[in-house]
Chains A and B, each alone.
Chain A
Amino acid sequence: MSGLLIVAASLGAAGCIGKIGDNPATTSDPAPTEVETAEHGVRLPRLSHTQWSRTAQAFLRLTDPPLFMMRPDTISGEGFETDDRTRVIDSTLLRDYRAAAEALADQSVDNPEAFAKLVVDAGEGDAPTRLRRLITVAWPRAYRRPLTTDEIDRYVAIGLAEPDYAEAGNDDDRLKVALRVLIRITLQSPHFVYRVELGDPAAEVQQGKYRIRPLTPNEYATRLAYTLFDAPPDEALIAAVTADGPAFDVSKLVDDPRARETILRFHKALYSVDASRSMIKDSGKFPGMEGLGLDAAAEAELFLDEVVKNGGSLRDLLLSRTTFVNQRLASIYGLPTDGLTADQFTPAELPAERAGILTRVSWTGNEADLFERSSILRGVYVTRKLLCAPLGAPPNGAVEAAPKPPPELVSNRDKVSFRTGGSACEGCHKEIINPNGFAFEGFDAIGRFLTDENGAKVDSTGETILNGERVSFTGARDFLELAAEAEQTHGCYVNHLDAWVLGRSLADFERADAAPTVELSIHERASVRAILAALLTAPAFRSVVREVP
């Protein structure tokens, strides 16, 4: 059974999805069919602002990516920054595009050095000749494809029709007049702003309720480059993809140092590292912990990057005790602090009670409040993000209606159990959320390991459901070791990674098609990079998919 199917089976066992009173906007379950239609019908993903900037850099042969203030996209708590649904187009952004386009156009023609670099592709001849040659050679860098003859003719005509063209003093000046308007147009064009993925209609096939159309080599190369490097493809990549066809080996791209940045961003989003950066703790209970989030996030980033760089796997992400600490983190982890400073992060080995990313200060501290660890936040995270089990939102008013624990309850676990013990809550909390959160009960609000709490022994034991079966655990590390061997966990991870590379959620058949990749992860202990490479060559990534009503 594939990990993905196991996920479904375990969900059935849990049966903990939305109830009356759920807020649909906050429910994490798969969207209904009509939304699926929208998600899978998109063939015009908008470039991120980083991608826009790097494409402008390549197009205009700039030394560095230009920096502009652009309307920020809102990333939902459930999504990745690659999710195309978060990339809006509105008048505010269009004004930002316009301002950037105008500034770059003016710079490219008014700055002699910039102009010289841009027109190196124009060759010799009079202005119309050079303009046509430049459009033919340089514009594919902007649009990630060769321009059609009609497009070239149109752009040349626009350039030559500029009011000042005829009066310009020499060919260079005439070229500048034409380029000033053409660069403005190009940097605002839908062909620049969007990844236009129309696919090859002749090769379209129907699979169930989906029509699947393979990407053209240009489109595939473009998707690869933006996914891995946040940058447009260069000529060599397009040529290689075109030449090799389906046999194109993406592993070199995945191993390229430029891909580390984007792979790290995925893991930081998945494991809430960016969110942990701004964690705040009560200075009375936790003196000297101001800015702890910055330390914690830095450690998490170093660890995640280290795992990927060294060919680590999901198991390593979940179980490795390798880390990098400064003086404060070493103190929290109970490691020697001799010779350590506040600014330097030194390689170290975490104590035995810890395992992987979810036992570090960044995650344990983020899934907590100012004073206390949050077993519920931790349980919800594990359920949704680690195991991909569906979970409804709490009924309206549940938080306010939860009873206040009596004073005789001293442990956090007992208090949480009491507060969530009502009939409206226990359906999800008793069997699913709380046990998954209690596994991490041994880590307080700043990630320190606890064995005693107000005179009572901290209890991190419990039972959870993995692969549809109930299993017992004795603590966080035990829980994670069990999870790291469960197909459900690997299926969940692969789904997250696939959603990240595709910039959308997966269609039903795509989840099933990812099964071989899950097998790679669980049975062959494949590295993160190998899993990524597998997804980048899978049919879902190489095609555009449209759901047919």
Chain B
Amino acid sequence: MIRSGRRRFLAGLGGLLVALPFLEGLERSTMADTMDRRFFLHFRQWFGVQQRPRFGGKYKDEQEGFWPDAPIAPNGSVALTRQLLEKSTNGEIRATGELADFASSLLMLRGVRVMDMNGLHRPHLVQAMTGSRYQATNPNFANDPGSDNNAWPMHETLDTLIARSIDGTMPFVFETLVNNDAQTSYRNGENGAIPIQNPSLNHPSAAYAQLFGQAQLDAKSAALRLRASDAVLAELKSLRSDTRLSAEDRRRLDAHFDAMNEVETKLQCMPPDVHDPSMSAVLDSDKPKLSDPSKSRWESSGHFNEYVDSVADAFIQIAALGVSCGAFRAANIVMCPDTNFNHSSVFDEGSLDFQQGFPGQYHALSHRAFTTGEQDNPDFTELEKGAIAHHRIDRWHARKFAKLLGLLRDAGVLDQGLTVWSNENAFGNHWAYDMPYIVAGNAGGKLKTGLFVDLQSAAVEPGDSVDDASIMSAAMSKQMPCSRLLNTLGAALGLTSADKSPLSDFGGIQNNLPTITGNLPSLLT
């Protein structure tokens, strides 16, 4: 039951119980409950994950550290169980094992590629949620046509399509130290211009205020608002029961009721007191670290990862709260790239004993290199340690994703929408096949879950391909274009194509290859 679930969630956030009497008193038996609760949350990690390449290449000797430990045939699937996800090797679980609590709610999709693999980061970033190749046409980069930064999406991203299709809104973007360049969420430019990034929020307190807009309302005012609202709802119900009304009148009052319910739901998210200590994780008005949008001070403080942890947690809570309260339909939580993950909350640097010193940045670690830019010449003597470090970073992201899923589940909304953990690359060396797409929730029963699926059409043994061109060719021909996955997610959320059928015409633009659209009916219920 959604309502009781939301109560638990609100209780978990602390200080948000003001609306409970109202909730209990709200009888809706004679009113239609047609409130649309669909949502799309996108959790983005950067720099690929630590996984064993299936097409050979640089990291082909690394052990698999990400996907569930189960044999899986091309086009095949296995059931996701807690037991499977908790399997360990030498005491180490796979990164996805952090999600064991949610096994039956997950759809793990391997064997997916981007539409154009040429590129390093931004070209793949803009493809993973558009399902179309990138374009390098920004006049601002006219003098740098080959730059990785001159990569722009062909059209809006899926989150934008979802938000505007459901209720005409735009998605939110929460940045954890991304400096207003999340490269994750785009809207179409006007009159055919290059798509532009959706605005992002990088300050939890400001994000909270913007989303809920009532941080300044005290408990007394909030309670008065609720009493008035309760009385209006009662009048709405009473009027609707008048037998002199026409069917159209009742439809109108139902729509009014639903809109009111939406407003009320948000009202329930209102904290009774912004200074309540239990709200500090979100608003944190007493901790300067969250009040200071500048990360520079924390980079030199020795507590930077604590800061990252706190900001990420705050955005995860805000995202879950926003979905539960209907504050938005789509949002992106963009995790932190280029971050110095050297805190024990992520992994124990000391235990790895890097002989040449700690690599420093996450980006460099993902390349198994010592500094960013050395990705083409990794130090293979340290490769194994780099893989372990990357695996621990993956697990840190998985734990954050699990935290998000837990909040959504407690609020009773996990299966109302879709929550997707994605990455701009599959591996640290910029390959964009076997892209990690982890989907949670079934969008109101429309998407199959509890499955680990390999969407690759044919098997390729590690080491079969050794040069980059061969790897790319094999991956392009054997793996599922991400456009079809994105159409499937949209279709599950009830989006439709131009012909009103379940979404199948989103994205699909390739580079000098036929457009590939359509959804994957086998993943839909």
A42 touches B239 (CB 8 A): no
- Is A243 close to B, CB under 8 A? no
Closest to B243 in A: A201
Shortest Cβ gap from B478 to chain A (Å): 39
A54-108 interface with B by 8 A CB criterion? 89-91, 93-95, 98, 101-102
- Is A18 close to B, CB under 8 A? no
B232 touches A188 (CB 8 A): yes
A196 touches B239 (CB 8 A): yes
B262 touches A158 (CB 8 A): no
- Is A15 close to B, CB under 8 A? no
Name the B residues within 8 Å of A198 (CB-CB): 242, 244-245
Q: Which of these, B229, B249, B263, contacts A41 with CB under 8 Å?
A: B249
Q: Which of these, B228, B229, B232, B263, contacts A91 with CB under 8 Å?
A: B263
Name the A residues within 8 Å of B236 (CB-CB): 190
B238-273 interface with A by 8 A CB criterion? 239, 242, 244-249, 251-253, 255-256, 259-260, 262-263
A94 touches B249 (CB 8 A): no
Name the B residues within 8 Å of A162 (CB-CB): 227
Beyond contacts A90-B259, A98-B263, A546-B246: 9 other A-B pairs, Cβ-Cβ < 8 A, are: A41-B248, A43-B249, A44-B252, A94-B259, A98-B229, A185-B231, A190-B236, A190-B253, A198-B244
- B168-192 CB contact bits vs A (8 Å, 1 = yes)? 0000000000000000000000000
A37 touches B248 (CB 8 A): yes
A-B contact pairs, 9 of them (CB 8 A): A41-B248, A43-B246, A43-B249, A44-B252, A180-B224, A188-B229, A188-B232, A190-B235, A201-B244
- A248-286 CB contact bits vs B (8 Å, 1 = yes)? 000000000000000000000000000000000000000
- Is A38 close to B, CB under 8 A? yes
- Is B343 close to A, CB under 8 A? no
* Complex Cα spacing A101 to B232, Å: 12
* Complex Cα spacing A41 to B245, Å: 9
B228 touches A42 (CB 8 A): no
A163-205 interface with B by 8 A CB criterion? 163, 180-181, 184-185, 188-191, 196, 198-199, 201
Q: Determine chain B's interface SS by DSSP, over half rule.
A: helix
Shortest Cβ gap from B232 to chain A (Å): 5
Name the A residues within 8 Å of B255 (CB-CB): 89-90
A94-B263, A180-B224, A190-B253 as given contacts; A38 in contact with B248, CB under 8 Å: yes
Shortest Cβ gap from B360 to chain A (Å): 48
Shortest Cβ gap from A25 to chain B (Å): 13
- B285-324 CB contact bits vs A (8 Å, 1 = yes)? 0000000000000000000000000000000000000000
B228 touches A181 (CB 8 A): yes
- Is B28 close to A, CB under 8 A? no
Give the bracket for the number of chain B residues in contact with chain A: 20 to 34
B245 touches A43 (CB 8 A): yes
Name the A residues within 8 Å of B260 (CB-CB): 91, 94
A89-B256, A98-B225, A191-B235 as given contacts; A42 in contact with B249, CB under 8 Å: yes
Name the B residues within 8 Å of A189 (CB-CB): 232, 235
Closest to A545 in B: B246
Shortest Cβ gap from B264 to chain A (Å): 9
B247 touches A41 (CB 8 A): yes
B259 touches A181 (CB 8 A): no
Name the A residues within 8 Å of B224 (CB-CB): 180-181, 184
Name the A residues within 8 Å of B244 (CB-CB): 43, 198-199, 201
Name the B residues within 8 Å of A89 (CB-CB): 252, 255-256, 259
Name the A residues within 8 Å of B248 (CB-CB): 37-38, 41-42
A91 touches B259 (CB 8 A): yes
A185 touches B259 (CB 8 A): no
A181 touches B227 (CB 8 A): yes
Most buried by B among A89, A94, A158, A190: A190
Closest to B227 in A: A181
Closest to B234 in A: A154
Q: Which of these, B231, B242, B252, B259, contacts A158 with CB under 8 Å?
A: B231
A21-47 interface with B by 8 A CB criterion? 37-38, 41-44
Name the A residues within 8 Å of B263 (CB-CB): 91, 94-95, 98
Name the B residues within 8 Å of A43 (CB-CB): 244-246, 249
B232 touches A41 (CB 8 A): no
- A307-322 CB contact bits vs B (8 Å, 1 = yes)? 0000000000000000
Closest to A184 in B: B228
* Complex Cα spacing A250 to B296, Å: 74
A44 touches B253 (CB 8 A): yes
A190 touches B239 (CB 8 A): yes
- B138-151 CB contact bits vs A (8 Å, 1 = yes)? 00000000000000
Give me the 5 closest cross-chain CB pairs, A-B, nearest first. A41-B248, A41-B246, A184-B228, A91-B262, A198-B244
Name the A residues within 8 Å of B242 (CB-CB): 198
* Complex Cα spacing A89 to B236, Å: 13
Name the B residues within 8 Å of A90 (CB-CB): 255, 259
Closest to A89 in B: B256
Name the B residues within 8 Å of A95 (CB-CB): 263
Shortest Cβ gap from B267 to chain A (Å): 9
B246 touches A42 (CB 8 A): yes
Closest to B255 in A: A89
Name the B residues within 8 Å of A185 (CB-CB): 228, 231-232, 235
B203-227 interface with A by 8 A CB criterion? 223-225, 227
Shortest Cβ gap from B106 to chain A (Å): 32
Shortest Cβ gap from B269 to chain A (Å): 14
Name the B residues within 8 Å of A94 (CB-CB): 256, 259-260, 263
Shortest Cβ gap from B220 to chain A (Å): 8
Closest to B248 in A: A41
* Complex Cα spacing A198 to B236, Å: 15
* Complex Cα spacing A98 to B263, Å: 10
Name the B residues within 8 Å of A184 (CB-CB): 224-225, 228
Shortest Cβ gap from B258 to chain A (Å): 8
Name the B residues within 8 Å of A38 (CB-CB): 248, 251
Name the B residues within 8 Å of A158 (CB-CB): 227, 231
Name the A residues within 8 Å of B223 (CB-CB): 163
* Complex Cα spacing A367 to B338, Å: 57
Closest to B326 in A: A91
* Complex Cα spacing A91 to B248, Å: 19
A102 touches B231 (CB 8 A): no
* Complex Cα spacing A190 to B241, Å: 13
Shortest Cβ gap from B213 to chain A (Å): 9
Shortest Cβ gap from A192 to chain B (Å): 9
Name the A residues within 8 Å of B246 (CB-CB): 41-43, 546
Shortest Cβ gap from B169 to chain A (Å): 10
Name the B residues within 8 Å of A190 (CB-CB): 232, 235-236, 239, 253, 256
* Complex Cα spacing A41 to B246, Å: 6
Shortest Cβ gap from A131 to chain B (Å): 15
Closest to A39 in B: B248
Closest to B213 in A: A95
Name the A residues within 8 Å of B259 (CB-CB): 89-91, 93-94
Most buried by B among A89, A158, A191: A89
Closest to A42 in B: B248
Closest to B252 in A: A44
Closest to B232 in A: A188
Name the A residues within 8 Å of B245 (CB-CB): 43-44, 198
Shortest Cβ gap from B44 to chain A (Å): 28
- B472-493 CB contact bits vs A (8 Å, 1 = yes)? 0000000000000000000000
Shortest Cβ gap from A102 to chain B (Å): 7
* Complex Cα spacing A81 to B239, Å: 26
Shortest Cβ gap from A212 to chain B (Å): 13
* Complex Cα spacing A184 to B255, Å: 21
B225 touches A102 (CB 8 A): yes
Shortest Cβ gap from A27 to chain B (Å): 18
* Complex Cα spacing A163 to B229, Å: 16
Shortest Cβ gap from A531 to chain B (Å): 29
* Complex Cα spacing A43 to B236, Å: 15
Shortest Cβ gap from B390 to chain A (Å): 44
Shortest Cβ gap from A507 to chain B (Å): 13
Name the B residues within 8 Å of A191 (CB-CB): 235, 239
